[in-house]
Amino acid sequence: MTLKVSLSLLSADFGRLKEEIEAGTEAGADMLHLDIMDGHFVPNLSFGLPVIESIAQVAKIPLDAHLMVMNPDFYIEPLAEMGVKYMSFHSEVALHSHRLLQKVKSLGIKGGIAINPGTPVTSVVPLLELTDFVLIMSVNPGFGGQKFIEYSLEKIKYLKDFRAAKGLPFEIEVDGGVNDTNIGLLTAAGVDIAVVGAFVYKSGDYKKALCAFKL
């Protein structure tokens, strides 16, 4: 399977967001990653629904929404109406993860479950037959440009082995500190989707930076 790159707009220049989206798409990104933060689940705010609607109007590749919020259910239907294709929420806040995944998938969206660095990967095992993808946070969520947490590799390997043993089709996504030095380890461990932000948007040459992930 070819690695998919989900380009995180959190690291883009918000004053030139349309141009940044177009440049990242032209450079070879497969998806646009939306880090949706509420200032409660994570100590930061990013963009709300009106900004996402504007992004959706100019995006020519799928939108990958990561809900870092205390009330993920509030966002599901509005984001579905905007055409979001991938949507993940955190197991740490969802009281009824199974039900939420069913709701996301019923709207024609690929539903994912996300876990923080301090959350055991085994906690999502009951959801793996239903989920379309698992998002492993390899930094503590809330801010871009952080250093990759090495033990995230063990979580990814666990999911890869579990998937193979059970014959399940879910994808494995990783977000946080992904760059050209660790992408080989990540793909070997089992990653299918890599969220990349600062490495590309701070590079000065988006196409050259994204080429590092076209393995």
- Which positions are annotated as active-site residues? 35, 175
- What is the helix (H) or strand (E) element at residue 65, kind and residue range? strand 63-68
Nearest to 159 by CA among 212, 92, 101, 113: 113
Three-class SS of residue 150? Answer: coil
Q: How far is CA 32 from CA 50, 89, 123, 133, in A?
A: 16, 16, 27, 16
**In this structure, what DSSP letter does residue 29 have?**
-
